[in-house]
Amino acid sequence: MSDLRISEVAVLAGVSDDTVRRWIEQGKLTAIQLGNGRKGVRGRELAEFLQANAETPEPGVTVAASARNRMRGIVTRVLKDTVMAQVEMQAGPFRLVSLLSRESVDELGLEVGSVAVASVKSTHVVVEIPES
C-alpha cells in the first residue's frame, strides 16, 4: 500500500500543502504517521477522495462527447508551421502536449493564456510506476 507525504499529496491533487492540511483538519482526508515522524495520507484514500471530488468541466457548446478523460487547463505554448501545430497545456500538475492541424488552432483561437479543455480518448494509454 502506498503511503504519501503531504507534499506528494499536494502535487498529485494539484493543490498546495496547506490545502491538504485543511482537508485533513476538515476530516476530508485521514492523516497517518509516516516512519519519519511526518504526517501523510494513504494512497488508496487519496485516490478515492480525488475520484469522488473530480469535476468534469462544462462542455460549453459541445452537445455530447464520447471522451471521458477531460482536463481543463491553460495553454502554455503554441508552435505552428504551415500545416500542423503543437499545443502545450498545464492542467493542474499535468503537462499535456497535443498535435493538431494549424487550421484547428486558428479556428479555436488558441494562444498562450487561453483556457481550454483537453479530451483524451485512446485505446493505448501507458501506465507507469515511478521509482520510490
Q: 74-132: per-residue pLDDT in tens?
A: 888 999 999 999 999 888 778 889 999 999 999 999 988 888 888 887 777 777 777 76
The C-alpha atoms of residue 107 and residue 69 are separated, in whole angstroms, by 23
Q: Does 113 lie in the same domain as 73?
A: yes
Q: Please check whether residue 71 is in contact with residue 118, taking contact to mean a CB–CB distance below 8 angstroms.
A: yes
Rounded average pLDDT over 59-81: 74
Alpha carbon 11 to chain centroid distance? 10
Mean predicted lDDT score pLDDT of the chain:
83
**Are 45 and 78 in a shared domain?**
no
Domain count, the chain: 2
Please report, for the domain that includes residue 20, its CATH number: 1.10.1660.10
Residue 24 has pLDDT above 90, yes or no: yes
Higher pLDDT, 36 or 1: 36
CATH number of the domain that 98 lies in?
2.40.50.100
Residue 102 lies in a domain: yes
State whether 12 and 42 are in the same domain.
Answer: yes
Instruction: Name the β-bridge partners of 3.
Output: 42
* Pair (9, 47) in one structural domain: yes
- Show the domain range for 100: 69-120
Q: Give long-range contacts, CB 8 A cutoff, 24+ apart: 123-127.
A: none
21-25, 38-42, 99-103, 110-114, range with the lowest pLDDT:
110-114
Residue 59 lies in a domain: no
Write down the pLDDT at residue 15. 87
* pLDDT surpasses 60 at 46: yes
Residues 45 and 74 in one domain: no
